Structure 1
Amino acid sequence: MLRILVCVSGGGTNLQAVIDAIGSGSLTNTEIIGVISNNKNAYALTRAEQNGIDAVCVSPKDFPDREAFNRAFLEKVNEYHPDLIVLAGFLVAIPAAMIESYRNRIINIHPSLIPSFCGVGFYGLKVHEAALARGVKVTGATVHFVDEGTDTGPIILQKSVQVHQDDTPKTLQQRVMEEAEWQLLPQAIDMIANGRISVEDGKVRYK
């Protein structure tokens, strides 16, 4: 059984997609052992509690500096003894020590087809604003392993989504979530839980 810890900053729709996939049986051999948010008002914490999942807030605002927060955050993560850490809309930079400790055991969902519209400064609606400003006709989402860069780790899964002429950043964000993110994240976790992928030479291989 793959023990996953989900980190989230906001509403937790991707967390809900994982919860629902476990409930429906489409995501197998997996249990959510905890949810960590950096935001005490995140609705994701409520979603976790409603589903009987341990939930806690670890906020940078509660620490004198980022180094102290990073230590406390990693300590809390380690308490759960996760097999896999899932970043589901987590808007905090992951400490280097945590990436080292959990090499190829942290995954992230990003709302574009990496390497487009990714990296520092591309998060939330900003990604979709940039896609519309560039006039792309296809966008999507990517699940990837986390390394020391920003959105630079090995890509696990990608799914494309059509851009409509009358899209706004919000309508595009919603379509990318519904048609790509909420499908890809449970699928990627299921593949990991059932030993169907490996990382070789910085690339994901399917077994």
Structure 2
Amino acid sequence: MVNIAVLVSGGGTNLQALIDAQQAGGIEDGRLALVVSSNPEAFALIRAQKAGVETAVMRRRDYASAEEYGAELSALLAERQIGLVVLAGFMTVLPDSFCKAYENRIINVHPSLIPSFCGEGFYGLHVHEAALKKGVKVSGATVHFVSGVVDGGPIIAQKAVAVLPDDTPETLQKRVMTEAEWVLLPHAVSDFCAGRLTVDGAVVKVR
């Protein structure tokens, strides 16, 4: 059984999708063991507590450097024997050393079809604003492994979502969430825990 930690900063809608999947038996060989928030006021913490998942708060400003933050987070994850880290609206940039230590064991969901509308500055509504400004007819979501390059890790899965003529950033965001993010993320987490994911043709080993 793979212990999963979910890192959050806000409302926790993707966390809720994982909680719902777990309660429905949809996460094979894995369990939500810890939720870590960079924001003590995040509603995601309440979602976790209601689901009986242990929580912790780690604010970046409480640490002298990103490296110190990463080291403390690593220590917490090691103590809880975490095998998979899921970024679900986590707004703190993790240091390269942390990403390397957890190479191919950190999964993120991004609200666009990478490589479109991704990288530095593309998060939350900004992604959907950029998509609408560009006039694309199709958007979607991408689940990928995290590397030292923002949104640059190996892609696990993608799902396209239609952009409608009367869309606003808010309506497009909601559709991408419900039709893509909340579908892809639980499946990717389950596939990781069951040992079904590959990178460059090699099966990702669950440690």
Give the structure 1 partner of residue 185 of structure 2.
185
Q: Distance in 2 between matches of 1:176 and 1:24?
A: 22
Deviation readout 1:102-121 (Å, 9 max, x if unpaired): 11101100000000000000
Q: Distance in 2 between matches of 1:73 and 1:116?
A: 30
Q: Check 1:203–1:127 CA distance in 2 against 1; reply closer, same or farther (3 A cut).
A: farther
Q: TM-score, normalised by structure 1?
A: 0.93
| C-alpha deviation, 1:199, in angstroms | 1.2
Give ranges in structure 1 of 5+ residues lacking alignment: none
Q: Distance in 1 between matches of 2:128 and 2:166?
A: 13
- The residue type equivalent to 2:133 in the other structure is A
Give the structure 1 partner of residue 89 of structure 2.
89
Q: Distance in 2 between matches of 1:182 and 1:7?
A: 16
Aligned sequence identity (%): 51
Q: Does 1:143 align with 2:132?
A: no
- The residue type equivalent to 2:124 in the other structure is G
Give the structure 2 partner of residue 119 of structure 1.
119
Q: Distance in 2 between matches of 1:33 and 1:186?
A: 15
- The residue type equivalent to 2:45 in the other structure is L
Q: Does 1:34 align with 2:34?
A: yes
Contact 2:196-2:203 at 8 Å conserved across structures? no
Contact 1:154-1:202 at 8 Å conserved across structures? no
Identify which range, 119-128 or 72-81, moves more after superposition: 72-81
Give the structure 2 partner of residue 196 of structure 1.
196
Give the structure 1 partner of residue 131 of structure 2.
131
- The residue type equivalent to 1:51 in the other structure is A
SS of 2:36's partner is strand
Give the structure 2 partner of residue 156 of structure 1.
156
Q: Distance in 1 between matches of 2:193 and 2:120?
A: 30
| C-alpha deviation, 1:200, in angstroms | 1.7
Give the structure 2 partner of residue 73 of structure 1.
73
- The residue type equivalent to 1:118 in the other structure is C
Deviation readout 1:134-175 (Å, 9 max, x if unpaired): 000000000000111010100000000000111111111011
Give ranges in structure 2 of 5+ residues lacking alignment: none
Q: Distance in 1 between matches of 2:31 and 2:174?
A: 27
Give the structure 1 partner of residue 47 of structure 2.
47
Q: Distance in 1 between matches of 2:68 and 2:195?
A: 35
| C-alpha deviation, 1:202, in angstroms | 9.3
SS of 2:27's partner is coil
- The residue type equivalent to 1:46 in the other structure is I
Q: Check 1:108–1:202 CA distance in 2 against 1; reply closer, same or farther (3 A cut).
A: farther
Q: Write the mapping of 1:104-115 to structure 2, written as runs, cut at 5 A.
A: 104-115=104-115
User: How well do the aligned residues superpose, as a CA RMSD in angstroms?
Assistant: 1.6
- The residue type equivalent to 2:46 in the other structure is T
Q: Distance in 1 between matches of 2:117 and 2:58?
A: 28
SS of 1:83's partner is strand
| C-alpha deviation, 1:45, in angstroms | 0.6
Q: Distance in 1 between matches of 2:56 and 2:5?
A: 11
